Amino acid sequence: MAAIDLVITRSREGADSVILSDSFAIQKVEVSKGSDNTNSKADITFINPNAEIINSASTDSRQWEDNIQLDDVITISASFNALNSASLTINDKLFTGVVTKFSGKLDGSTSTITATCTDLTDIILAKAHVAKYSQSDSSLNNAHEIVENLVQVANDNTNGYDTVKTPNATGGRPTGGFIQNTTKTIDYFSNYKSVAQHIKSISVPAFTGLSRTCTYFIDDNREFYWFSPPDVGSTTLTSSISASALSIPVASTTNLSNAGGLITIEGEIIRYSGISGSNLTVASTNDRGLFDSIAAIHASGKTVSNNAVIKVPNNDGLGISDVLNFDFDYDSEDVVNMVIMRLGKDKLRKNVTWYKYNDQTTTSKIRMKVFDFKGAIAEEYYNSKIGGTALVASDFTGGGTGTLTLDSSAATFTTGSGGSPGYIRVLSDDAPEILEYTAGPVSSGPNYTFTISGRGKFNSRTIQDVLSNTSVQDFTTIANTSNTNVRDGIRDRGQEWAEAYFAGQKEKMGMKVTLKGVKVNPGEAFALVVNDLGLNNIAVRVKDVRHAITKNSWQTTLTLEEDDSAIA
């Protein structure tokens, strides 16, 4: 294998950047990227550090810290071609992280020090939690605008970390627009997801319309990059196709495999089985809209992007890289047949946890998985029972009783009286409060007033200040329902979710492939062909990525999983 050009730079506040790979002997570099946004790390191992990285004249107790220390920002770039360390591009960079750990080993005459780095993106974006978003601003309908908004939220929640900048530059940004500095916002509720999870969920072709899953990282200057890796190749449609079309007319079949593969058109991922003339043949409608994308109508002239393929043997050169090793397993025992569900809280703020066993399972073993919905299932139940939604028209402060004024949407709220009070649920980022009212709704100009007679009902937490524009709900129907029935209703919702989950549970293949070094991101979609093992045009998604780099070798190991939607 050809020599690897490896560039490792160190940035430290108040000091000039240093290229560590120019000055110190590096035995190996290992980079791991996980699909869960919490396991992306890099290990840099320096060999015989006493000769170089250790300053033996230093009076410090840890004599390597002149050159590398905790909290240094490390950037790793790698290529089979020569890199210009003075002008590295975003496509050169493999990893940017913060040094969080050191370990050392002495074995005979060989000594090593390993610096473990945690992905800077994880440190900032995975630790800042925001709510599941809903779009109140109809103009905020592009993935890149939502990403910008999420990064802004991370800036507000990083508790001391440097502000993340979103440079107004077009280079490397996804087609359809670059990340913009904007004051547009999204309404957030039910605070439970990290910013990184949100960005990951909208970085797939179904949201971006691109052929490859967007990657994102924060560099050593605290600048956030979100971009699509280059396409393998592309052509265009020569005529429009329907959402169920099984023949895809294209202008060119160059770089498309006669044995089939994956293509992307406006975010829809399609598996084709072969080529007939200038048409790509699709075996069935099950091969449209893979990887959670949606089968749709596409007009003539739209771009048809060729997804990468992992191919053994790579005799036509269309594979993403040369395969060095491959193995798979396919086991019915891997199918989940029992779920434990944390559904949320009942009317009295007590947790509702339930279970469901799939009695249609074909295995005698129990394979269980726990799902924590962070209140989402209970919220679905409550939202199906509320009598209406309105906004607070003016601040209701002090945490006491009095008159609450809501906007005109409250006209339909349940009429409350002393003998038959009504109830209002105030939504908040933490936990909702239930208010009791004995008079209302009473018309007051364009608004409606309610006489609040009780706060913090049904064990809810009292909110000191209910500010204008806060969302509230007519909670009277639920308040008048027994808590036993509320719990049953939430459980029923959980049962329905579990049944749908089991219906989608199928035996699927798990695979691991080692390639000649290549930059790939968790979540990307590929076609897989391994002729000697009888694996033909399987749609797979990357779960985890691991790079192992030395001076003369760069290998990338991918953990793959068959796409659920592509299994007949």
Identify the band that residue 116 occupies on the pLDDT scale cut at 50, 70 and 90: very high
Choose among 302, 183, 286: nearest CA to 241. 302
Dihedral sign of CA atoms 191, 195, 197, 202 in order: positive
Which whole number is the average pLDDT over 442-468?
A: 93
The answer to whether residues 469 and 396 touch, using CB atoms and an 8 Å cutoff, is no
Higher confidence at residue 187 or residue 354? 354
User: So where are the chain's domains?
Assistant: 5-122, 127-227, 236-330+522-566, 334-382+483-503, 387-474
User: In angstroms, what CA-CA distances link 45 with 24, 25, 26, 122?
Assistant: 10, 9, 6, 22
pLDDT confidence of residue 130: 53
DSSP class of residue 223 equals B
> How many Å apart are CA 541 and CA 390, to the nearest integer?
43
Phi/psi of residue 375, each to 5°?
Answer: 90, -5
Apex CA 174: angle with CA 168 and CA 178, to 5°? Answer: 20
pLDDT confidence of residue 39: 72
Identify the band that residue 463 occupies on the pLDDT scale cut at 50, 70 and 90: confident
Choose among 143, 157, 152, 158: nearest CA to 199. 143
User: 334-382+483-503 has which CATH code?
Assistant: 3.30.1920
Higher confidence at residue 49 or residue 285? 285
Task: Count other C-beta atoms under 10 Å from residue 57's C-beta.
Answer: 7
Whether this prediction's pTM lies above 0.85 is answered by no
| Residue range 185-196, pLDDT digits in tens | 344 443 346 667
How is 388-408 classified by DSSP, letter by letter? Answer: -EEEBSS-B-SSS-EEEEE-G
Q: Mean pLDDT across the chain, nearest whole number? A: 81
> How many Å apart are CA 111 and CA 105, to the nearest integer?
6
> How many Å apart are CA 288 and CA 267, to the nearest integer?
11
Q: Is residue 514 exposed (0-12), middle (13-18) or buried (19+ Cβ within 10 Å)?
A: middle
Apex CA 307: angle with CA 93 and CA 312, to 5°? Answer: 90
pLDDT confidence of residue 152: 61
Q: Are strands 309-312 and 525-530 parallel, antiparallel or unpaired?
A: parallel
Choose among 28, 95, 103, 94: nearest CA to 68. 103
> How many Å apart are CA 283 and CA 536, to the nearest integer?
13
- In terms of average pLDDT, the best of 219-233, 234-248, 460-474 is 234-248
pLDDT confidence of residue 182: 32
Match 């809903």 to its residue by tokens. 134
Choose among 515, 509, 523, 508: nearest CA to 547. 515
| Residue range 52-76, pLDDT digits in tens | 778 777 777 888 888 888 989 899 9
The answer to whether residues 118 and 97 touch, using CB atoms and an 8 Å cutoff, is yes
How is 416-471 classified by DSSP, letter by letter? Answer: B-SSS-EEEEE--SS--EEEEEEEEEEEETTEEEEEEEESSGGGPPPPS-B-TT-E
Residue 502 three-state SS: helix
> How many Å apart are CA 486 and CA 263, to the nearest integer?
47
The answer to whether residues 44 and 548 touch, using CB atoms and an 8 Å cutoff, is no
The alpha carbon of 435 is separated from its chain's Cα centroid by a whole number of angstroms, namely: 37
What lies within 8 Å, CB to CB, of 15 at 6+ separation is none
| Residue range 466-481, pLDDT digits in tens | 988 888 999 999 999 9
Choose among 329, 328, 311: nearest CA to 516. 311
DSSP class of residue 268 equals E
Q: Is residue 313 reached through a cis peptide bond, with omega within 30 degrees of 0 on the bond before it?
A: yes
As beta bridge partners, residue 112 has 47, 105
pLDDT confidence of residue 184: 34
β strands within 60-109, DSSP E: 73-79, 93-107
Choose among 93, 86, 44: nearest CA to 64. 44
Apex CA 91: angle with CA 90 and CA 92, to 5°? Answer: 90
Choose among 307, 264, 310: nearest CA to 288. 264
User: 5-122 has which CATH code?
Assistant: 2.40.30
User: In angstroms, what CA-CA distances link 370 with 39, 342, 346, 381?
Assistant: 20, 8, 19, 20
DSSP class of residue 250 equals B
As beta bridge partners, residue 115 has 44, 102
In percent, how much of the chain has pLDDT > 90? 36
Identify the band that residue 552 occupies on the pLDDT scale cut at 50, 70 and 90: confident
Number of H-type helices and E-type strands within the chain: 8, 33
Amino acid at 296: A
Which CATH architecture is the domain 387-474 placed in? Beta Barrel (2.40)
pLDDT confidence of residue 398: 79
What lies within 8 Å, CB to CB, of 203 at 6+ separation is 143, 147, 213, 214, 215, 216, 226, 523
| Residue range 251-279, pLDDT digits in tens | 999 888 888 888 988 888 899 999 999 99
> How many Å apart are CA 223 and CA 164, to the nearest integer?
6
Lowest mean pLDDT among 12-21, 338-347, 538-547: 12-21
> How many Å apart are CA 59 and CA 53, to the nearest integer?
15
Which whole number is the average pLDDT over 120-129?
A: 70
pLDDT confidence of residue 173: 38
